[in-house]
Amino acid sequence: MAPAAITPESSGTTTPTTTTASKLTEAGIKHASHNSNGQTGKLAALDASLMTTTLNKAAKTVPEFDGPEAKAQKTMTDHMVTASWTVEHGWAAPELKPYGPLSIMPSASVLHYATECFEGLKLYRGYDGRLRLFRVSRNCARMCRSASRIALPDFDPKELEKLIIALCAQDGPRWLPKDRAGCFLYIRPTMIATDPALGVQRPREALLYVIMSCFPDMSKSLATPAPPAMQGEANGAAKASPGLRLIASSEDTIRAWPGGFGYAKVGANYGPSLVAQGEAKAKGFDQVIWLFGSDDYVTEAGASNFFVVVREKSSGKLQLITAPLEERMILEGVTRASVLDLARERMTKTQDGVEAVEVVEKRFNMKDLIAAHEDGRFVEAFAAGTAFFVAPVSVIHFRGRDIGVPMDGDSGVYARLIKQWLSNIMFGKQEHEWGVVVEEKAQ
């Protein structure tokens, strides 16, 4: 029988690095007519050009940006895109249609075996009046890698990109109108195994869909104190200070491990993290900082990548450090890659009074951070991801002690600069290849 693996990431144990991943995307690997379920023959590939459109005749009222509906995260836009897949036929023609409930069997694979993966990205309304996505091809490539980790079908990421753009072109103009410059919507591409067979096996039916949602501005809401009802009792008062307050994960709660699936955006990573997240909130913290191993290696913060700026003891040089991808425990964030790219491009020389940093992806642990804190070498920390954007960290609570992270007002200097640079690209203040303009459909 022919080998099942067609996707570049599903073959063997090779470790993807940023470079290989982006090379694969650039090479435009052909995904057509293949599926990884061992079927051969003429299977239909995912093809956005076949998409049919049924418009919503009962369009909803668009709520205000960052208002209560956005904070509740239950308001989706008028439409969604769906595409179903079966092992016998491959991909059916995608449909753009009114947002509404799905019909799946109670025995569906996803409900029992967590055969689900997703993506998260934003649609931005620029100050130049145009709609943009940010490095969307990276989200689509990552969706393929996540899908292959949980035996969901393969597709050409370029086709998913076209489906995302089609939904944005349809709902963007009304849900993110031109007078909302600087605002955004949140896009959630998802794939689930709908196979009704209860057997523990590779799914033979799946559904890919894309929905779009009103979403709170989490970077803004952090800088203001939470309402009393939402504050943890213990540290309510302290919450008024800006910056994320992180609490270290306990030894018995591990987010990801070598050989696991921490590198994949699969639902199975998130359900099991919610108890720790709830406990962190109840104690007055914003997020969990996920540690790994008996040496307390620092991996991620909440569902964001984590960065520190530390002065190296021996060389005296500043380093911008984040955990490496090699062991596949870390989610390769699009924001992470962009922070690294921009810092390597624009921060390796001292400029405008901002000291140069060396940019390094390497393991570091709590002992390193505590030592840096004690010697005054811990300069800054921030989390980076689509939802929280670039969020400065003010406190790390580790085994009974608070490690205060220096801030310059409401942010550290490096986080502030990087956030500004990224936001300029997202909102069209700087023309850049990472900003993908969406042509809007006439309403």
Ligand X SMILES: *Cc1c(COP(=O)(O)O)cnc(C)c1O
Summarize as ranges the residues that interact with ligand X (CB under 6 A).
120, 265, 300, 303-305, 331, 333-336, 385-386
Q: Whose CB is nearest to ligand X?
A: 333
Closer to ligand X by Cβ: residue 96 or 339: 339
Which residue lies nearer to ligand X by CB, 185 or 334?
334
CB of 303 to ligand X, least distance (A): 4
Q: In whole angstroms, how close is the CB of 386 to ligand X at the nearest point?
A: 3
Nearer to ligand X, 87 or 436 (CB): 436
d(CA 413, CA 214): 30
Using DSSP bridges, classify how beta strands 121-125 and 184-193 pair: parallel, antiparallel or unpaired.
Answer: antiparallel
Give the C-alpha distances (Å, rounded to integers) separating 119 from 134, 228, 298, 334: 13, 32, 23, 11
Task: Identify which of residues 148 and 335 has a Cβ nearer to ligand X in the complex.
Answer: 335
User: By C-beta, is 168 or 331 nearer to ligand X?
Assistant: 331
Shortest separation between residue 338's beta carbon and ligand X, angstroms? 8
Q: Which of 26, 16, 12 is nearest to 324 (CA)?
A: 16
Q: Which is nearer to ligand X, 43 or 323 (CB)?
A: 323
Q: How far apart are CA 143 and CA 146, in angstroms?
A: 5
Smallest distance from ligand X to CB 41, Å: 35
Q: How far is the CB of 362 from ligand X (least distance, A)?
A: 18
Which residue, among 253, 222, 235, 245, has the nearest Cα to 66 in the 3D structure? 222
CB of 404 to ligand X, least distance (A): 24
Minimum CB distance to ligand X smaller for 75 or for 273:
273
Beta strands in 220-330 (DSSP E): 244-248, 287-292, 297-301, 304-311, 318-322
- Distance of closest approach, residue 335 Cβ to ligand X, in angstroms: 3
Q: What does DSSP say about strands 401-404 and 389-398: parallel, antiparallel, or unpaired? A: antiparallel
Closest CB to ligand X among 99 and 261? 261
CB of 301: closest distance to ligand X in angstroms? 8
Whole-angstrom Cα distance, residue 291 to residue 396?
A: 12
Q: DSSP per residue over 324-386, as a string? A: -STTS-S---HHHHHHHHHHHHHSSS-BTTBPP-EEEE---BHHHHHHHHHTT-EEEEEEEET
Q: Return the number of the residue (188 or 311) whose C-beta is nearest ligand X.
A: 188
Judge whether 281 and 320 are in contact, CB under 8 Å: no
In sequence order, the 6+-apart residues with CB closer than 8 A to the CB of 345 are: none
CB of 340 to ligand X, least distance (A): 11
The answer to whether 259 and 253 have CB atoms below 8 angstroms apart is no
The values of phi and psi at residue 24, to 5°, are -60, -40
Q: How far apart are CA 219 and CA 386, in angstroms?
A: 10
